[in-house]
Chains A and B, each alone.
Chain A
Amino acid sequence: MTVADLKYGQKGIIKDFTEHILPIKLLELGCLPGNSVELLQIAPLNDPIYINLSGSHLAIRRSLAKLIELEIIEETQAK
C-alpha cells in the first residue's frame, strides 16, 4: 500500500523506510515515518494528487506517491 493507492477520505500512517530514495525536500515537508497522510483531491486525468501530509498541504505526482509506503488507519464512510 502506498500513498498512490489512497482513495478519497482515506488516511494512512507512513511506514518505516530503510531505502533512502525519497527526496530530502519531501522529508522536510513532513514525510517521516509515523506521520499521517490524507488524500484530499485527485487532479483531472488522475494525476497529480493533493494530500495533507501531517499538516502540510502538498500536490505530488503519482510516480513520487508510489514511493511512500503506508498503513491505512482511517476509513471515512464513502460519500
Chain B
Amino acid sequence: MSKNINVALIGNPNTGKTSVFNQLTGLKQKVGNYPGITVEKKEGICKLPRGVKAHILDLPGTYSLNTTSLDESLVVELLLNKNDKDYPDVAVVISDVENLKRNLLLFTQIKDLKIPTILVINMADRMDRKGISLDVEAMEKKLDTKIALVSTRKNTGIDRIKELIADYKSISSKPILDTSRISPEYFERLKSTFPQEDLYKLWLVITQDVNFMPIEKKRIQDATDFSTKSKDELKKLQHKETVLRYQLINNILKETYKVDFMAAKGLRASLDKILTHKVFGYLIFFAILLLIFQAIFEWSSYPMDFIDENFAMAAEWIKNTLPPGVFTDLLAEGIVAGIGGIVIFIPQIAFLFLFISLLEESGYMSRVVFLMDRLMRPFGLSGKSVVPLISGNACAIPAIMATRTIENWKERLITILVTPFTTCSARLPVYLILIALVIPEGSILGLSYQALTLMLLYLIGFGMALLSAMVLNKILKIKSRSVFMIEMPTYRLPLLKNVGYTVIEKTKSFVLGAGKIILAISIVLWFLGSNGYSDDFQNAESIVAERIESEGLSTYSKNYVQNNIDAYRSNAEAEGMAAGAIQDSIQVLREELSERAVAQEIASYKLEHSYIGQAGKAFEPLVKPLGYDWKIGIAVLTSFAAREVFVGTLATIYSVGSDEEETIQNRMAAELDEDGEPLFNLASGISLMLFYAFAMQCMSTLAIVKRETNSWKWPMIQLGFMSVFAYIIALMAYQILS
C-alpha cells in the first residue's frame, strides 16, 4: 500500500475550517495533544478517489504566519520543518468568501514556502445574499493554484477538494511574491551568509515573536559574519511585508472578485443592534446564563438520578450474584462505586459543552466578550476572561485552556489563577450531599433554604474569583504590550454536526481523564480500608466480641436497632397486625438486627485499625478544629486529587464490610461524634462546604496550569494560597457556628 498523502488544513479563525475537516474525515478522526503542550491536535483519514487515502491534520486557526501565540506558532513550526512526519505534501487553505482579501494574506505566505497549496473558498452559499461574484478561473490563474468553491452547510464542493488533493502533484509550488522585495539589502546579506537556505523560511524564523525554534534562531545569531537587525527594524519590515502582500492581493481581486453592496443584505447589523445593546444586550446575556444553569441543575438531574439508581443496582447485583470473596468486594465496593462517581457527571458536562459550543458556533460568544470587556477590566481581566469563567462552572481544565485567546499575558495569567474558584461541577456532589444533610428543609419567599444555600455557594465562588483577580491585578507587576482585539464573525446557525462532535469529544476526554484518577483512588482506598497490619485489625472479631460482652452494644448500634424496631412497629400497627403477632416478629427482628449491629461494629473497628484508619487518625488533629473526624479527614485528603472523590471516599469507607445497601446520605446522617451527636451538623457541614468552595483540590487543574504557564511557580502558589485560605475560612466558620 502506498503512503497516505499528508494534508494540512490551514486557515483564519471563523472560516469553517473545522466543518471542512469534519466533512472530509467524518468520524474517522482522533483528537490528541501535541507532545508537551495542551494544544489540541486533530487528525483524521479521508478516502480519496482512485483508492488513495489522505491523512488530514487540522491546524489551529491563524491570521498569518507572524505568530503571537503558542497555537499559531505550531502552524509555522510544522510548515518550516521538512523532517516532521506531518509535514504536508499539500496545504489546503480554507477561506471565507466574505473575507477573502484578508484570508488570502495567509495563502500567499504559505505559497511562498513552496508548498503545493490549494485554496478552498468556503461559505459559497452566502455569495448571492452578499452580492458577491467570483471569476474562479481567472483567480486560479492569477494565484497560480487550484480553487474549490465549497459550502459545508449545503454540503457542496467537498468532492472537488478530494479530487484536488488526490491530484496534488499537478499543483504549483511556485512562490507568488518576490519576498526579497521586503528588504533587498537584508535578503541579499542573508543569501550570502546562508547560500543553501530558503530565504523566506529564514526570514520567518528570524521574525517570530514566540519562543520559537530557539536552536534555529541561535544558529542564525551565531553566524559571525551576519549582523541581523534590531527588533524595531524587523517589525518595520514585517509591516512592509504585509503591505506588499495586500498590494498583490488587491491587484488580483480587482479583476476577479466583485461585491455589489446594493444586493448585500445582512442580518448582522440588526442583530448586533439588539445583542450588543446597552440594556437588552445584558438582559439577553443573563437570560442565556440562567438557561444554562437551569439545564445543568434541573434538566440533567433526571439522567443523573437514572444513572445513580442503575449503579446502585449494579453493585447490589454483583454482590448477590457473584460468589463472595475479595474480588467481588473489590468489584462492587471499589470499582463500580468509583465508576458510578464519574459517569454521573456526564449529563452536566455534556449540557455545558452543548451550550458553549452553540454560543461559539453562532458567533454570539464574541458579542459577550465585547459587552463584558469594560466591566471586567477593573478586576484585571479581559472580556475574553468571561468564557473561561463560565466554562469554569463545568470544569476548570477546559476553562484554563480557553484562556489562550487572551493576548495580554497579565490578563491571561490572572484568569488562569482565579478560574479554579468558580464552582466546577466536581464540587456539586459534595455540596448537594452536605446541603441535604445539614440545611433544614423549609423556604422563605418561595425559595427553599437548600436551593438558596447552593446559589450562595456559587456566588461565593464567583465573588472570590473576582476579588482575588482584583488583588492579583494590584500585586502582579507584569508589563504586557499585546492588545485586545476580537473578530466579530457573522451570525450563523450552528451546524448540528459540529456541535455534536464537540460535545462527544469533550465529554469523552473529561470522563477518561478524570475517570482514571477516580478509579485508581477508589481501588487504592478500598485496599487500604480492607487491610491492616496491627494486631487490633487481625483480631478485630474477638476484640469486639469481648467488648460487647462486657459493655454491651455501642450507643450507635442500640439506636440503630431501636429505630428499626420502632419503624417496624408503627408500620405493622398501621397495617392492623395483631399485638401478639407484632411482639413475636419484633423478637425475631431484634435478634437479626443485633447480629447485624455486631457485624457492623466489627467492620467499623476493622476500618479504624486498617491502614487508612491509621493514616486518618494521624491526620485527625489537623482537621479536628474544623469539626471533622478522621473519616472526613481521609475524604478531604484523598480529594486533594479531585474534589468529587470526597463523596466516593466516604461511600467506600462506609460501605467497606457492610452488607446492607444503604444510601451514602443515610450512612452519613447516622454518623455520631464522641458526644453522641450527629457528626454532620450545621457547623461542620458549612465548614466543609466553605473548605471545598475555596480549596484547590484538583491535580489535573494544577497540571494544566503548569503547562499553560510553563512553570511550577504558579500552580504551587495557587495550591498554597487556596489551601491555606480554605483552611482558615473553614476554621472560622466552624468555631463561630459551633
Contacts and interface: CB of A to CB of B under 8 A. Distances in A.
Contacts of A47: 373-374
A9 B512 CA distance: 52
Contacts of A48: 370, 373-374, 383, 484
A57 B242 CA distance: 19
A72 B189 CA distance: 43
A63 B484 CA distance: 10
A57 to B, nearest CB: 4
A61 B236 CA distance: 23
A43 interface: yes
A54 to B, nearest CB: 8
Interface string A4-15: 000000000000
Interface in B677-735: none
Contact of B276 (A29, A41, A45): A41
Interface in A38-79: 40-41, 43-48, 50, 54-61, 63-64
Contacts, number: 107
Given A20-B239, A61-B483, A28 B375 contact: no
B576 to A, nearest CB: 70
Interface stretch (B18-26, B99-107, B299-307): B99-107
A65 B504 CA distance: 41
A20 B281 CA distance: 36
Interface in A16-45: 20, 22-30, 32, 40-41, 43-45
A27 B272 contact: no
B174 interface: no
Contact of A29 (B98, B371, B485, B489): B485
A60 B239 contact: no
B373 A64 contact: no
Given A20-B239, A24-B235, A56-B102, A43 B488 contact: no
A59 B369 contact: yes
Interface residues of B, number: 42
A3 to B, nearest CB: 13
Given A28-B64, A28-B102, A59-B369, A44 B485 contact: no
Nearest to B282: A44
Contact of A23 (B232, B246, B369, B482): B482
A47 B42 CA distance: 36
A46 B272 contact: no
B268 interface: yes
Which of A29, A32, A43, A47 counts the most chain B CB atoms within 10 A? A43
Contact of B272 (A24, A41, A54): A41
B594 interface: no
B185 interface: no
A22 B488 CA distance: 20
A24 B487 CA distance: 15
Given A43-B370, A44-B374, A64 B485 contact: yes
B711 to A, nearest CB: 26
Most interface-central of A25, A40, A48, A54 (chain B CB within 10 A): A48
Which 3 A/B pairs are nearest by Cβ-Cβ distance? A45-B374, A57-B488, A44-B278
16 contacts: A24-B64, A24-B68, A24-B235, A26-B483, A32-B242, A32-B243, A43-B373, A44-B375, A46-B374, A50-B272, A50-B276, A58-B486, A58-B488, A60-B484, A61-B483, A64-B483
Given A25-B68, A44-B282, 20 more contacts: A20-B235, A20-B239, A24-B64, A24-B238, A25-B483, A26-B485, A27-B242, A27-B243, A28-B242, A29-B63, A29-B102, A45-B375, A50-B488, A55-B98, A56-B102, A57-B487, A58-B485, A59-B383, A60-B484, A61-B483
